[in-house]
Structures are given as C-alpha cells and as structure tokens.
Amino acid sequence: MHTRGQCYEEYEETARWLLDHADQRPDVAIICGSGLGNLADLLSDKTVFPYKDIPHFPISTVPGHAGQLVFGKLQGRDCVCMQGRFHFYESSNISMVTFPVRIFFLLGVKTLIVTNAAGALNDSYNTGDIMTIKDHINLPGFAGVNSLCGQNDDRFGVRFPSMSDAYDSDLRALVKQAAEELGFESVLREGVYCMVAGPTYETVAECKILQLLGADAVGMSTVPEVVVASHCGLRVLGLSLITNKVVKDYDSGEKVNHDEVLRTTQRRTQDLQKLVSTLITRI
C-alpha cells in the first residue's frame, strides 16, 4: 500500500501526476459509497487510474469498492469519480481517508458530491430511501479523531473552519427539485448523518443513543471527507442511500450485514444515477 504523505509537496506531486495523465480538468468530484461505484458508469470519454498506480494514493480494501479513479465527462462537464472510498477502520489513519479530497482541490474541483450507504435510525425512513444530508454528527471527532488535527496548512484552509454550513443549502434545494421532476419525491428525505468508526455495526444501545442525539442515519464514512472539503472551500452535497433499518429491539432476530447493504444499493443505483446526472446540469 502506498503511504499517505503528510506534506504539501506530496499532495502536489499526486495532483501533478494526474494532470499530466488525464485530459479532463474536473470541477466536480464524486465519491462513491459501498456498492455505488456504478455511478462512474455515467461518465463518457473516460480515463481510468487504479489507485495502486497513482503516486501516494491509498488503496481501498472493502468489498463493493472497485479502487479506481475515473475521469470523464458527465452531461458535457468534466468530472472525476472515486470508485471506492477509504474508511478509518481500514488503517486507523484519518489522513488516508481524506487524502483524495485535497487532491481534488488541487485539481481545481469546486463541488464535491459524496455518497454513502447508511442505516436508518429515523423510524419514518424506509429501506431504499435517499437522504440528503443537511448536517452531521462526527462521533470520532468527539473522541479527538478529526480530519484537521495536526499542523494546519493555510494553503488548504484556515485553522478553525466553521462546520455549521458544511452541506450547501443551494445544492440540497437542487436535489429536491430534481427528485420531484424525476418522480422520486416519495423516497427523498433530508436529515442528519452520524459517523461511527466501524467496522462493527452498532449495538442496540448505541442505536438508541444515536437516535436520542438527533441522528436520522448512521454510517462509517463521509464525515472526514466533508470536513476536509469544507476546510478547502468546496461546495458539498451529501447523499445517503438507506440500505437497512438499524436494530433497536433486543428481541429482534434481524442482523445487519454487508451483503444486505450491497443488494439494496444495486436496486437503487439507477435512480441515484438519474438524480446525480440531473444535478450535474444545474450545478
């Protein structure tokens, strides 16, 4: 595995390598969550780089994450798509998780669309719903594991960035508009996403606590990337595909598993593709 560089020069080296090898100059980046890598199929005129071939780039190890960076055009706009993201539980290195976001910033990206698979904490949510993220709860951050810990580099952003507006309200409004036009309004939600470190799914008691905290959905990703993207000044849109309902009853015989998550994403991929494709034309 490539080691994640900690200095600005290594970020620059990676960005320069990609600019030298790709014809596109993307202003939109898409991070694909578990089972959602087919979003990259939307791109035309593609140039594909396996993560292992990109200098300093980390490598995804989770099933459902292809592990390649795809440049191409979507609705005539240059985009870059991560087929497979990195998770904190893969290495306990939060900087590895966020490395690509700073690369996107150096490539000239202005807007980040981040997707994930999440479990429903909100009792009104159903499997297959799509939740636009309006806010997040960074549980690892409460424990001191924050993407911005360590020395700050002012070339990326300020020392103490605000997170109260991390999820762009105009982009969220565009999602609602697009969903109505596509006939998805009945499955569209807007809520609070809570990140847990993983890789274990939550206990019954943990789910009850997260619900009390005000979280509508829970997952093991997204927040570190959003924190760094906001730090860099990128506009962020977060979309959670609700792949299961969390277990909140000790008498329940149900168990959450990754195969169930992937099956749900397969059923909803086309709808997400249509939604993202419509959004790209309006950003």
**What residues pair up with 68 in beta bridges, in sequence order?**
50, 83
Tokens 């997170």 correspond to 163
The mean pLDDT value for 66-78 works out to 90
Spatial CA neighbour of 181 closest among 274, 57, 90: 274
- Taken in order of first residue, the domains within the chain and their CATH numbers are 8-280 (3.40.50.1580)
Positions marked active-site: 34, 65, 87, 89-90, 117, 220-221, 244, 258
pLDDT at 61: 63
Per DSSP, 281 falls in state T
Residue 2's pLDDT band (boundaries 50, 70, 90)?
Answer: very low
Q: Under a CB-based contact definition with an 8 Å cutoff, are residues 70 and 80 in contact?
A: yes
The mean pLDDT value for 53-61 works out to 85
Spatial CA neighbour of 48 closest among 10, 96, 83, 78: 83
Separation between Cα atoms, residue 10 and residue 41, nearest integer Å: 30
Q: How confident is the model over 212-240, as pLDDT tens digits?
A: 999 999 999 999 999 999 999 999 999 99
pLDDT at 257: 64
Hey, what are 154's tokens? Answer: 């002012």
Residue 197: how many other CB atoms lie within 10 Å: 15
pLDDT at 65: 52
Torsion angle in degrees (nearest 10) through CA of 247, 85, 224, 279: -90
pLDDT at 112: 98
pTM of the model: 0.91
Tokens 């424990």 correspond to 143
Separation between Cα atoms, residue 43 and residue 122, nearest integer Å: 34
